[in-house]
Structure 1
């Protein structure tokens, strides 16, 4: 028996062989990479000592699939982190002494599936809430228009505007996320007035800011050059960042928006006064389906906005990062190239 396949295959999967006593007899490079255990330490040790389970009441060997079958098993990496392995027991002739397992690390795939499952479960709520508010406001207008005061009508119209704005932002992010996943996301640079971009973003966000009694303070030089960017996508960047800042800042707080042009680069910043973002999660928040806040809080959305922001900026040859606001909260800083980059010029 030769439990080790060709080297190219070994780098992608783990191959482990063990004897009738449950001790490891072969441990390839792929198994080392997946488990975190060096081969020299794994050889001759019990299989269950190398592939430990989060629940110690049962052993790894007890969960193995039958020969020719495969099964997902959660184990612990050598450093203690949880892994999801797809384990296949190789069907061997009956006269072969050792048992051979093929291991594939499915941890990231499983995490993505869980995030997608959560996203699909949450998206219906995200649509239902503004649609219910829209329906209620329209019904009141239809049934009681003659009895409503001007102030009451204005309040209902503001509620409708707020709900439509929320739906528009959600749908925009869904469409952009779909095109990003399909590899069809592109930008179209046009001559753009940055003051008009900021004005449009504020117009879209005004219902949310008004409802939360918040003020957007703009630090934008009066004299700015006309630049070539995808103005629609840049508005979307500002809308998503201002929306996050609003949702995470206390009612009545001020949000700061800064834009400036430095040579061939546009630099921007949106600062809030919310709870801030832990250092260990600052990379993850720009992934799809990852939300900033508690998953039980409906206001925190479906986790698409920041991933769309990152994709738009990267298509412009730019980037985004997050840091602590010295006054409390977070600062999202971004930059993009004003040169042609990867975008399509009309």
Structure 2
């Protein structure tokens, strides 16, 4: 699992928890608000019903015994007519506060019996003498009205108790949900911390230890464990590849230093032997022997000069300081000068030059281009059997000038071709056939690439090799004319 997926899952889970908590809070708030409204309406209903009861009793007392004093005058100085008016007003208010069908039904009953009571009182007041039957009717309607009001009060009390019980249950539910959400949140945070420590921080610590051990040089075999999230595994894999590459490069550098020391020792030993033979105290030095000694010294010095030149060129190329002095030159003349150089020496090979009748012009540094051709021809001669043919050909191919060096030497396999232009690497057969440090072809390729060209090679084991140099062809300017500066990059860094 990747860190991105893990944190996306964690953040998504937290968002879900927050949304659920917010929804539960909204639902709880709405429910409590409804219950509070129900409680308020029930209390108001009880108050109105009790006031209605009090006014009915006061009205009955004032009608039955108007001269009897009261300890407390609930009527507040009102007349029976005013109390009757208040009773009818209170009946209307009761209807507006009804919230259930049962409550509205009881209120209708209350209104009916209260109206019957008032009508009975009005009829009793209209009669001049007392009538036991009318008095009984008044008292019966009053008792019915009071019972109806008590029923209404009980309904409101029951509603209030029911709302209180629901509020209690909602409060308990909210407490349980809040506790569950809190525990779930703490568990999520604990799992996040555990996962980070177990699957993220430990691989990071391992990667840090491996990098520190490898960086300080105390443990070059130190490698990071490729475990944990995919990002950390990729980092560890990249570090391990880098460490393997650096270790391989270090091995190559050590092998290169050993090869350079070995290759330098051979010409130095030959020079030392030659000088010791020509020194005083030895047998008489004949002119023929002196010529052979000087020839040996010259060849060894040339070999040393070529090795040192390749090393310097490789250093300049890696530092980006290879300087070029481009000119418009005829590749036929450059190839001819290189062939003449090797034809003058007794190499034991047949060296042929194949050039067209017309000039094949390129814009290049002639010294560097001759260096490349010299290196290719030298390799062809070194890795070809004595008496074989080496061909140097120049031709124009559309917008390109092609210089090819073909030999009939040992050839190379496809696997060997893959590392042919890698610095300090040499094919297995080449190491036994000729000395060297493996820089010539690498330097040659970088020189040609600095000119905007490329080198191609075709080879088969036992059938020889063909190296082709492709450069951009120009169509104007006589040989030796400096190249125009409009469309060229400044001499200097290799790209």
TM over 0.5: yes
TM-score (norm 1): 0.65
Q: What runs of 5+ residues in structure 1 fail to find an aligned partner? A: 8-24, 28-60, 74-83, 91-99
Question: Corresponding residue for 2:307?
Answer: 170
**More displaced stretch, 102-111 vs 119-128:** 102-111
Give the alignment of 1:246-265 within 5 angstroms. Answer: 246-262=381-397, 264-265=399-400
Q: RMSD of the alignment, in Å?
A: 4.0
Q: 1:322 aligns with which of 415, 437, 457?
A: 457
The question of whether the paired residues in 2 share the 8 Å contact of 1:323 and 1:331 is answered with yes
Separation of aligned partners in 2, 1:66 and 1:344: 48
Give the Cα–Cα distance (whole angstroms) in 2 for the partners of residues 325 and 70 of structure 1: 44
Aligned to 1:218: 353
**Secondary structure at the counterpart of residue 420 of structure 2:** helix
- After TM superposition, give the deviation of residue 304 of structure 1 in Å: 0.5
Structure 2, unpaired ranges of 5+: 7-197, 214-220, 475-486
How far, CA to CA, are the matches of 1:230 and 1:145 in structure 2? 48
Over residues 275-313 of structure 1, what are the superposed CA-to-partner deviations in whole Å (9 max), with x where a residue is unaligned? 211112313111111113348537241110111111111
Aligned residues: 272
How far apart are the structure 2 equivalents of 1:125 and 1:163?
14
Residues 1:193 and 1:134: Cα distance change in structure 2 (over 3 Å): farther
Farther off after superposition, 152-161 or 299-308: 152-161
Asked if residue 331 in structure 1 is aligned to residue 477 in structure 2, the reply is no
Partner of residue 146, structure 2: none
Spell out the pairing of 1:77-156 with structure 2 (5 A cutoff).
86-87=223-224, 103=236, 104=239, 105-106=241-242, 107-143=244-280, 147-156=284-293
- Residue 127 of structure 1: how far off its partner (Å): 1.6
What does residue 318 of structure 2 align with? 181
1:23-42 map, 5 Å: none
- Inter-partner Cα distance in structure 2 for 1:319 and 1:214: 27
Partner of 2:491: 344
Change in CA separation of 1:113 and 1:145 when aligned onto 2, cut-off 3 Å = same
Which protein is richer in strand relative to its size?
1
Q: Is the 8 A contact 2:330 2:361 kept in 1?
A: yes
Instruction: Report the TM-score, using the length of structure 2 for normalisation.
Output: 0.47
Which one has the largest radius of gyration? 2
- Name the residue aligned to 1:70: 210
Q: 2:444 aligned to 298, 309, 321, which one?
A: 309
1:187 partner SS: coil
Deviation at 1:272, TM superposition (A): 1.4
